[in-house]
Amino acid sequence: MGMKPSRNSSRIHNKNYWVFMDIYRDIMYNSAHALDLYVPRKRNSTVVIFVHGGAWLMGDKSRTEPQCKLLAHHGYTVVSCNYTLCGMHVIARAMLFWCSILGVIVLLLNRTRLVYIVGYLCLCIFGWIFYVIETASPQHITDVELVLDWVKDNLHAFADHSKRILIGHSAGAHLACLLASRRYMDVHGVVAISGVYSLSRLNDVTGGDWLLDTAFGPLDDFSKYSPVVNVHQHCPPHLLINAKIDVTLQRHAWDMTLSLKEHGVFVQAMTVPGDHLSVMRKWEEPTNQVFSTILRFITEVANLSAP
């Protein structure tokens, strides 16, 4: 590949471990997005692809660096990727909508010329954003699929890429599960943490299409991009992890677990203390059951997929 370790290629030291690894940062896997590659000096034959969360509209691969380094410490070659986000105009739409409503209310209470102008402009800008800016096509799933192709084409110099595990958090878990159902021949296991598995359920909670239309385009049917509906008997083993203080997404995990079992797919589900974000913290602590469970799952899946 002709890559050189970045300046951040490092020996990591904390109270729990010493490890040597090379970190290759910002490798372009397509014309728009990059990935980071963590290669331990002493490695096994399994590759982990880590997909960050952020509601499809925010986030960056750098957020998963502590987890990627910890996985590399245990001998796994890790790929952490960026992907197309649905854009901050989602937030702009929401803000301008409420500004427009407020402007109309103030206009009715105080008919001054300035207030009239401001209210009119807010309505015009909101309308332009809502109708002129196109809603996003679901490019994010295509990007993650390209990362999988990149791993297959380029990692032969570093690892046996015949064993590939997807790990994702939140929106990243959604993308990981969806990709695994589509590319089940190329993915050998999925670790989904606090994931979204039913867009229909999410739409009921968010109270409208303002997020999903922008992240996936206008949808008459949410099933195409809902992992729970796309489960089939050939899906790889899944580990589903959720936090106790994440009630909304617990129902997603229950439904996904049931769907996997109904199709005869191995699934392990666990609920841990904490919330949607804390479940990703402090993996390095010896008592952290999230990371220890992930390690056991990856080991078992790698052994199952061994020739």
| pLDDT, mean over the chain | 82
pLDDT more than 90, % of the chain: 52
Nearest to 140 by CA among 189, 166, 178, 190: 178
Contacts for 12 with CB less than 8 Å, ≥ 6 apart: 18, 19, 21, 69, 73
Confidence of residue 276 (pLDDT cuts 50, 70, 90): very high
Q: Are strands 77-81 and 34-40 parallel, antiparallel or unpaired?
A: antiparallel
The topology (CATH level 3) of 10-87+136-305 is Rossmann fold (3.40.50)
Name the 3-class secondary structure at 152. Answer: helix
Question: Which position has the token pair 């203390």?
Answer: 273
Q: Calculate mean pLDDT across residues 43-57.
A: 90
pLDDT in tens, 234-261: 999 999 999 999 878 889 999 999 999 9
The values of phi and psi at residue 153, to 5°, are -85, -25
Name the 3-class secondary structure at 78. Answer: strand
Strand order in the sheet with 18-28: 10-13, 18-28, 34-40, 77-81, 47-51, 164-169, 189-193, 238-245, 267-275
Confidence of residue 2 (pLDDT cuts 50, 70, 90): low
pLDDT of 3 reads 60
pLDDT in tens, 119-165: 666 656 655 555 444 445 578 999 999 999 999 999 887 766 779 99
- Determine the angle formed by the axes of helices 171-182 and 139-154, rounding to 10 degrees: 60
Supply 224's token pair: 């195409």
Q: Calculate mean pLDDT across residues 1-19.
A: 47
Partners of 65 in the β-ladder: none
* pLDDT, greater one: 111 or 62: 62
* pLDDT, greater one: 88 or 52: 52
Question: Which position has the token pair 């589903």?
Answer: 240
Q: Does pLDDT of 26 surpass 90? A: yes
Name the 3-class secondary structure at 167. Answer: strand
pLDDT of 303 reads 85
pLDDT in tens, 174-216: 999 999 999 999 999 999 999 999 998 887 776 556 667 767 7
Q: Does pLDDT of 99 surpass 70? A: no
pLDDT of 208 reads 56
pLDDT of 150 reads 96
Confidence of residue 4 (pLDDT cuts 50, 70, 90): low
DSSP state, 41? S
Contacts for 181 with CB less than 8 Å, ≥ 6 apart: 227, 230, 231, 232, 235
Instruction: Report H helices in 183-274.
Output: 199-206, 212-216, 247-262
pLDDT of 127 reads 55
